[in-house]
Amino acid sequence: MRVFSGIQATGEKHIGNYIGAMRNYVVTQDEGDAFFCIVDLHSITVDYDPQDLHDRTLDLAALLFAVGLDPERCTLFLQSHVPAHAEAAWLLSAVTGFGQLGRMTQFKEKGEGKEFVSAGLFTYPVLMAGDILLYQTDIVPVGDDQRQHIELARDVAERFNSRYGETFKIPRGVFPEVGARIMDLQEPTKKMSTTGGTAQGTVLVLDAPDVIRKKFKTAVTDSGRDVRYAPGEKPGVSNLIEILSVASGTPIPAIESSYDGRGYGDLKGDVGDAVVELFGPMQERYAELRADEGELRRLLHVGADKARETSAPTLEQIYERMGFVRP
């Protein structure tokens, strides 16, 4: 089974990225032949700083190894190291509808109110479809916010297959049962995000222990006093319960009953402690890995070789089926 997922090189990674996606990369690397891509080409679709992109890309590679990706069991690479991704995006734009791209909520949200909206922000999902389809992917582990993009990738694959002949596997998104959409701690009706959320409500994987505890202590909760999981009615408390469930490995009903007679204050303290404990060892490994840039670059080089080799036959097939004269 082929597994593929991509992750942006911009911003610092937060607990939503970890719970919604990164921890499932770690799980799926043992369930199939897994490819994980740092999507640096996607990162230039919004305002960004070149030096920042450069540094964040290496930071993220170190972080992904630190959370548990194993270069022996999966392939981690940079999108820009494999030219097939940019090529596939152009070729697949022929079977992507302008109208469908315009309906993407991420495009609308990230473009809203901006003086300059790049053409790349609009065509972003085509590049993503290419990422996935080039690897004949079966499953794509992602958070809930990517549902619409996965649907588009499936539509693109189906349209290509029916117009040019069977070429692509139709991929399927897999979303975590708990924590597919972690909310901002200050505004629990909005998704946690480094690009759109509040700083105080966004817990970073690399935040210091006292910062993590403080962010949870000051989390916005709901009216009432009982610790009960009810996302519609109690978004703040339910979000904390989901985070605690993942961080401590305790099912949600067991958490609810363990707070009988105790209040939100205890819950906030416990979530903070559990997250500090979860991230502590990852932070230590991150510091070690990030310090050896030569080794990081070597691992990414090996990953890119494997990715190039794996995607090449599908890229060639795309060109041939579309009628190009090959060299």
Length of the chain (residues): 327
Residue 176 contacts ligand LTN per CB under 6 A: no
Helix (H, G, I), strand (E, B) or coil at 172: strand
Binding flag, residue 241, ligand LTN (CB under 6 A): no
We find the least distance from the C-beta atom of residue 118 to ligand LTN, in angstroms, to be 15
108 CB contacts (<8 Å, ≥6 apart)?
none
Note whether 280 and 247 are within 8 A (CB): no
d(CA 84, CA 178): 34
132 binds, among ligand ATP, ligand LTN, none (CB under 5 to 8 A by kind): ligand LTN
Say whether residue 5 binds ligand LTN (CB under 6 A). Answer: yes
Which residue of 24, 43, 123, 146 would you call a contact of ligand LTN, by CB under 6 A?
A: 146
Residue 131 touches which of ligand ATP, ligand LTN, none (Cβ within 5-8 Å per kind)? ligand LTN
Position among 3, 38, 39, 182 found at the interface with ligand LTN (CB under 6 A):
39
Report the C-alpha gap between 137 and 149 in whole angstroms: 15
Given ligand ATP, ligand LTN, none, residue 128, with its beta carbon under 5 to 8 Å by kind, binds ligand LTN
* Nearest to 282, CA basis, from 66, 70, 19, 58: 66
Binding site for ligand ATP (CB under 6 A): 7-8, 11, 14, 16-17, 19-21, 142-143, 145-146, 180-182, 191-195
Tell which one of 19, 78, 104, 132 touches ligand LTN (CB under 6 A). Answer: 132
C-alpha 220 chain-centroid distance = 25
Going by the DSSP 8-state scheme, the letter that residue 180 receives in this structure is: S
Asked if residue 82 binds ligand LTN (CB under 6 A), the reply is: no
Separation of alpha carbons 199 and 201, rounded Å: 5
What's the CA gap between 235 and 253, in Å, rounded? Answer: 16
Q: Which does 80 bind (CB under 5 to 8 A by kind): ligand LTN, ligand ATP, none?
A: none
Contact residues for ligand LTN, defined by CB under 6 A:
4-8, 39, 42, 128, 131-132, 140, 142, 146, 149
